Amino acid sequence: MSVMRFIGRMIAGVIIAVLLGNYIDEYLHTTPIVMMVLLLYVIIGSLYKLIKDAGDDHE
């Protein structure tokens, strides 16, 4: 996996998580809990995908 693909996936995920999380938080009248959970999910998921793809390159 190229670095640009990883960066693009990370940026797109963060933007979607912030927009969707902010919308849900406003709808539910909560503090940005949902947005923080979605951001954490995107970061962990992107890092997991990076590690998985890096392992596949060495086989």
CA–CA separation, 20 vs 29, rounded Å?
A: 14
Q: Which residue has the tokens 């849900």?
A: 24
The model's pLDDT over 7-25, given as tens digits with 9 standing for 90+, comes to 998 999 999 999 999 999 9
Report whether 13 contacts 48 (CB < 8 A): no
Q: What is the pLDDT of residue 14?
A: 95
For the chain, the structural domain boundaries read 3-57
Higher pLDDT: 18 or 3? It is 18
Q: What is the pLDDT of residue 59?
A: 54
The model's pLDDT over 27-49, given as tens digits with 9 standing for 90+, comes to 999 989 999 999 999 999 998 98
Report whether 37 contacts 24 (CB < 8 A): no
Report whether 33 contacts 48 (CB < 8 A): no
Higher pLDDT: 37 or 2? It is 37
